[in-house]
Amino acid sequence: MPDPIISKTDFLYYLDCPLHFWALKHDHEPSIAPTAMDEFRMQQGQKVETLAREYLNQTVLIQYPSATLHWQQTYTHDRFLARTDTLIYDENEDCYDLFEIKSGTSVDKGDLYDVAFQMKVCAHSIRLRNLYLVHLNKEYRLQGTLNLAELFLCEDVTQPAAEIEPAIEQSMLAARQVLLQDKSEGIDHCRKPDTCPFPDLCHPNLPEHPIYEISRLHRNKALQLEEMGVRAIIDIPSDFLLSDKQREYVEVVKTGQPYIDPDAIQEKLSALCYPLHFLDYETCNPAIPVFEGYKPNQHIVFQFSLHILPAPDAEVEHHQFLHTEYSDPAPALLAKLSSIIQPQGSVIVWNKGFECSRHNEMAEIHPLYAAFLENANSRVFDLMEIFSQNLYIHSDFHGSASIKKVLPVLVPELSYNGMEIAKGDEASIAWWQIVNGKLNEEEKEIKIANLLKYCQLDTMAMLEIFNRLISIN
């Protein structure tokens, strides 16, 4: 049997969580299957790679007096394997420049670790000169046909990769040691049980309220508690140093009693002005812009749901919009939304950073609606803040201010359970399938119905949570 190897993907998996890496390399099956969004991101990455190859051929290769371009070359050294995206061999200098392609719009730490790993492996076989990261240009806007010379940026990361080379070397040695272990004992586990692909290894016998659901708990704090043998929040010593907000949540879990600050909640809600507009968007953000004026990875707002409460005790109105054609949804969406939302009254959302950012982006692309969108942003009220600011704490929120955690506690008669579309990424994929002709007519109609049902529940959930809050005294 050949010796097991560590690929670039394996190594990045190790950096994320050594125990996940060990489990994969020892034939453990992850409990979480790849999602439709994972598949979508992979397809988008393939599109970016295809276009980046054209860009390198047309724009970069011609800058060399005499050179040849090589795609996906494989190199190995001491159990490690690196498959490069692109190498350009400079024939005059007898050396290679490495080009790594990414679908993001900036260089992050993970990208540098990726390139540095390739550098360490390839350097034993070829003479490397410079290292480049080819990524999408966040300032590029689609105008007509794609302009590859403007769509991509080629960033020299030779120096930053060299600076982390010692750390990479240490991590590679550590990954090799983990790979050769027969058992998982002593290997560092993850601290995200909700998304852990190997919960039986990372979190066996997890308590009802583990320490990991404490908001913004630093890894070092988690390690301290683990070394003390503490995994459950109820076992955290009273003198253990936590922030005020973290301590408030811990006390709620320990006492089993929710914390509610009615005066602070009513003060927050007193800022609201009728009519109340409960607004939610669904979006899709392909890596390559597909509509005029959009940037790489920019969100396309394709749907809204809007519940309007004209006055206290008045009858609630519901309005909705879903664009189902392969064209920019914004003009039709904004035309309808601007005709419904009143020029006065609060616009209530859950996580205002998201909706306000979408308004700003749509205003740039469609300046005809800029004044309307700016006015809407000036009236936005973030209902989530009542929970994120600890004005209402419940142990069954499990340390989260997500609407999907809050709703079952405050409004148990409403639920996302059992819905065909129950998450934002599922809505995004459904819309992409609809407008790209991936479904037959029957499938398309079912998806449309499920999209409308899901987005409507989001705004109905906000309305009913508001009704519960307003009655607190």
Q: Are 277 and 348 in contact (CB under 8 A)?
A: yes
Taking alpha carbons only, the member of 202, 185, 184 closest to residue 193 is 202
DSSP symbol at 316: P
pLDDT by residue (tens digit) across 400-453? 999 999 999 999 999 999 999 999 999 999 999 999 999 999 999 999 999 999
Q: Which is nearest to 365 in space by CA: 296, 295, 279?
A: 295
Confidence band of 204 (pLDDT split at 50, 70, 90): very high
Q: 6-179: which CATH number, 3.30.460.10, 3.90.79.10, 3.90.320.10, 3.20.20.60?
A: 3.90.320.10
Classify the C-alpha dihedral 59-100-160-110 as positive or negative. Answer: positive
What angle is formed at CA 447 by the lines to CA 445 and CA 449, rounded to 5 degrees? 70
CA 458 – CA 448 distance, rounded (Å): 16
Q: Which residues contact 306 (CB under 8 A, 6 or more apart)?
A: 277, 278, 279, 280, 318, 319, 320, 337, 340, 341, 459
**pLDDT tens sequence across 302-327:** 999 999 999 999 999 999 999 999 99
Structural element, H or E, at residue 435: helix 424-435
How confident is the model over 77-123, as pLDDT tens digits? 999 999 999 999 999 999 999 999 999 999 999 999 999 999 999 99
User: d(Cα 409, Cα 252) in Å, to the nearest integer?
Assistant: 14
Interatomic CA distance for residues 2 and 16, integer angstroms = 26
* Total H helices, total E strands in the chain: 18, 15
Strand ranges in 21-78 using DSSP code E only, listed in sequence order: 67-71, 74-77
DSSP string across 113-136: HHHHHHHHHHTTTS-EEEEEEEEE
Q: Judge residue 95's burial from the number of C-beta atoms within 10 Å of its C-beta, 0-12 exposed, 13-18 middle, 19 or more buried.
A: middle
Q: What is the DSSP string of 178-211?
A: HHT-SS-TTPPPPS-GGG-S-HHHHSTT--SSBG
Contact between 386 and 392 under an 8 Å Cβ cutoff? The reply is yes
pLDDT at 473: 79
Residue 182, pLDDT > 70, answer: yes
DSSP code for 232 = B
Q: Report whether pLDDT(1) > 50.
A: no
Q: Identify the CATH assignment for 266-470 out of 1.10.1040.50, 3.40.50.740, 3.30.465.10, 3.30.420.10.
A: 3.30.420.10
Structure tokens at 141: 């806007």
Which residues, 6 or more positions from 213, have their beta carbon under 8 angstroms from its beta carbon? 233, 398, 399, 400
Predicted pLDDT of residue 2: 59
Give the whole-angstrom CA distance, residue 303 versus residue 284.
10
pLDDT in tens, 242-291: 999 999 999 999 999 999 999 999 999 999 999 999 999 999 999 999 99
What CA–CA distance (Å, rounded) separates 142 from 135? Answer: 16
Give the start-to-end residue ranges of the domains of the chain: 6-179, 207-257, 266-470
